[in-house]
Amino acid sequence: MIKKVKEGPAGYMPQSAPSMGVELAPKGQALLYGNVVTEEEAMRDAAIALLTKDNPTIFPGPQVLWDWKDDVAEKAAALLELASEIPNCKIIPMPDYRPKYPKIDVKAEINPNHPNLTILDNKIKACVFVGVHCHYANLTLRMIRAGTDCYTVALCAYMGHEEAMASIRDLHADDIRKFKDIVIEERNKLGIEWTTTLPPENPSLPKEDYSTLSPADYGEYRSLIMSKKGEHVTAVE
């Protein structure tokens, strides 16, 4: 198998996967290193990477962190089951894509504008993106490939991601549980002993004191919360 898309670091401004001839997998199939394969083949390769590479980490995005759709809660529960079967797996959530400056807590979150900082700081060699909006996932996965040697897995509810080493499309809770079963099978083959354990809690960010906020803290959005000259606000939602 020719690996069109593989672990980096590929260097500054690497070729995008589509420019290298990678096309999205058709329904019922998956991508592995840019090649169309069966879902099981991609899942097994991804499972071995998550079991053998250092500091495996799951990055859940807004589409599985917020209960906005009928199947999301079940999908999130299946993700916790998957994480509990990967030895020493961590979960670093990505609930908000807005840039965080001057810096972020790379132990607790990932900034899509500089995802390599979180990958490098935590020495993550294999990670899973799930529930991340496609336009952010493609960009972020490419930046990770550019600046790190991390093996990336994309679990996508839609058409998948060319920039990941392994990409599964049309994802539902049952697919996550199928992946979990494959992880257990491969773990047993490798002779890795592990007691099913949920990942540790993430270090929490400092709690914000909302009582000290002023309109100036909202930057360009302050006009949305400040009354206009001559305007009298008598009721709020």
In a domain, 165, yes or no: yes
| Global pTM value | 0.83
In a domain, 134, yes or no: yes
Tokens standing for residue 81: 């089951």
The predicted pLDDT at position 172 comes to 95
- Domain housing 81: 18-205
The predicted pLDDT at position 207 comes to 66
- Going 3 to 24 to 79 to 119, the CA torsion angle's sign is positive
Q: Is 155 helix (H, G, I), strand (E, B) or coil?
A: strand
In a domain, 116, yes or no: yes
The reply to whether omega before 102 is within 30° of 0 (cis) is yes
In a domain, 8, yes or no: no
Identify whether the C-beta of residue 50 lies closer than 8 Å to the C-beta of residue 153. yes
pLDDT tens, residue order, the chain (237 aa): 788 899 989 888 888 999 999 999 999 999 999 999 999 999 999 999 999 999 999 999 999 998 888 899 999 999 999 999 999 999 998 888 777 766 778 888 887 778 888 999 999 999 999 999 998 899 899 999 999 999 999 999 999 999 999 999 999 999 999 999 999 999 999 999 999 998 887 765 556 666 776 767 666 666 665 666 666 656 555
In a domain, 96, yes or no: yes
In a domain, 140, yes or no: yes
Identify whether the C-beta of residue 170 lies closer than 8 Å to the C-beta of residue 147. no
In a domain, 230, yes or no: no
**Structural domains of the chain, count:** 1
User: E strands of the chain, at which residues?
Assistant: 29-32, 35-38, 57-60, 90-91, 126-130, 151-155, 166-168
Identify whether the C-beta of residue 220 lies closer than 8 Å to the C-beta of residue 213. no
In sequence order, what are the beta bridge partners of 91? 58
Tokens standing for residue 77: 């529960």
The predicted pLDDT at position 56 comes to 97
**CATH code, domain carrying 57:** 3.40.50
